[in-house]
Amino acid sequence: MLKKPRLFTAGPTPLHPEAIRAGAGDVPYHRSPAFAGRFERVQAGLRAAFRTESPLAVLATSGTGAMEASVASLFAAGDRVVVVAAGKFGERWGEIAAAYGLDTVLLKLAPGQPLEPEAVAERIEAAAPVRGLLLTASETSTGTAFDVRALTEAARRAAPEIVVAVDAITAVGAMPIETDAWGLDAVAGGSQKAFMVPPGLAFVACSPRGWELVDNRSSTPRYYLDLRRYAASAARSQTPFTPAIGLLLALEAALDAIDESGGIAALEDNAARLAAACRAAAPALGLELLAPAAPSPAVTAIRAPVPGSAPEIVAAMRDRFGAQLSGGQGDLKPDIFRIGHIGYVDDLDLLGLLAGLESVLIDRGHGLQRGAGVAAAAASLAGEAPPAALPTGPE
């Protein structure tokens, strides 16, 4: 029985075929006018994706490198920052901040818990003076989304000059992130998410004020992750260090493909409608969402029907169908699995996956009506209400 390897993880994600082709060829020399022209095309595509007018820093790192570059370039030891810690990646902001000697105030949330903007404002006021706010747009570990715009606005009501850095690594391409319009001082992204490119590239977009701050902070020791170097090189259509050339050519092709199929907004819409369909399927499969009140359009976290059984479901999907889901992370590992639906994922991918998940659950003895989960997702994709005629309980 043939089983195609399929990624339904929250990253890496399926590659765009044009990105595969572009990245598979020989690499040109990067200090050449031709490469500078291609880097400019990449920059134009990234500006559209992050909704900014300024060049971005393009780093040969994972997404964490972009987060660290933001902290190292925007803050100095002793600065007090409020960190929204809603899961593993929010906690990572806290770890990076601590590594740089920042005075971190954790705003800890339970997995899947939504966050009211007012709660952020209150925490900032209570901890005054606060110099920065570190946000996660889509907390990948729990499939929870946060309203970056509203949180930023609330923070600035409490502290008008507060510096806001956003981990938007799984968010860009799944939900709108307006770097300039929302005044986000730094926004971190990565190639292996909605960009449909292999891991190895990270991005930092900054609002105009963000770039000013980057220029004016110099006390933190930094070199490779110094955003000033990337800004200076980008002004000459270059990177300060050897770029990951093959990945950049793949990204150029993927950004072209995004542009040709309706732009970043169409990519966001695609993820959002797949996410809605995935959420519609869950109750029909007798499953609960981890973050029903604030679900991410990038990744859906689902509670296993029996606590502790999530790893077995992930393994069964891989063994029986070749489909790789994400398991839970940390304390959530036994109890949740996650379905990624960013980037190069389409309706038939999701419908097939849900049919497979249904089979795995039935195999495991969960009384389900075959077809119910797929039916609910298909109705959602077709813009219909969930099919009421299909019983969803045990047969």
Residues binding a copy of itself (CB under 8 A): 1-4, 6, 21, 24, 261, 266-267, 269-270, 273, 321-323, 344-353, 355-356, 358-359, 362-363, 369-375, 377-379, 381-382, 387, 389-390, 395
Residue (90 or 356) nearer to a copy of itself, CB: 356
Retrieve residue 111's tokens: 């997995």
Dist CA 144 CA 169 (whole Å): 13
Give me the least distance between CB of 126 and a copy of itself, in Å please: 44
Give me the least distance between CB of 23 and a copy of itself, in Å please: 12
Retrieve residue 288's tokens: 């609960």
Give me the least distance between CB of 182 and a copy of itself, in Å please: 26
Sign (positive or negative) of CA dihedral 374, 377, 381, 386: positive
Residue (127 or 355) nearer to a copy of itself, CB: 355
- Angle CA 186–129–185, to nearest 5: 10
Give me the least distance between CB of 127 and a copy of itself, in Å please: 43
Residue (4 or 31) nearer to a copy of itself, CB: 4
Give me the least distance between CB of 5 and a copy of itself, in Å please: 9
Nearest CA among 322, 275, 269, 270 for reference residue 301: 275
Distances (CA, A) of 298 to 190, 274, 281: 14, 9, 16
Residue (251 or 345) nearer to a copy of itself, CB: 345
Strands 186-190 and 202-205: antiparallel
Dist CA 148 CA 166 (whole Å): 8
CB-based burial label for 178 (10 Å; 0-12, 13-18, 19+): middle
**Total count of residues recorded for the chain:** 395
Distances (CA, A) of 80 to 103, 108, 111, 128, 303: 4, 16, 25, 9, 36
Residue (54 or 369) nearer to a copy of itself, CB: 369
Give me the least distance between CB of 171 and a copy of itself, in Å please: 18
Phi then psi dihedrals of residue 18, to 5 deg: -70, -30
Residue (15 or 332) nearer to a copy of itself, CB: 15
Residue (24 or 34) nearer to a copy of itself, CB: 24
Give me the least distance between CB of 76 and a copy of itself, in Å please: 43
Residue (110 or 348) nearer to a copy of itself, CB: 348
Give me the least distance between CB of 362 and a copy of itself, in Å please: 7
Give me the least distance between CB of 338 and a copy of itself, in Å please: 18
Alpha helices in the chain, H assignment, sequence order: 17-23, 33-50, 63-74, 88-99, 117-126, 148-158, 208-216, 227-234, 245-260, 263-284, 310-321, 347-363, 372-381
Q: Decide if 49 contacts 178 (C-beta within 8 A).
A: no
Residue (330 or 391) nearer to a copy of itself, CB: 391
Q: Decide if 290 contacts 296 (C-beta within 8 A).
A: no
Give me the least distance between CB of 391 and a copy of itself, in Å please: 8
Dist CA 106 CA 286 (whole Å): 35
Residue (118 or 346) nearer to a copy of itself, CB: 346
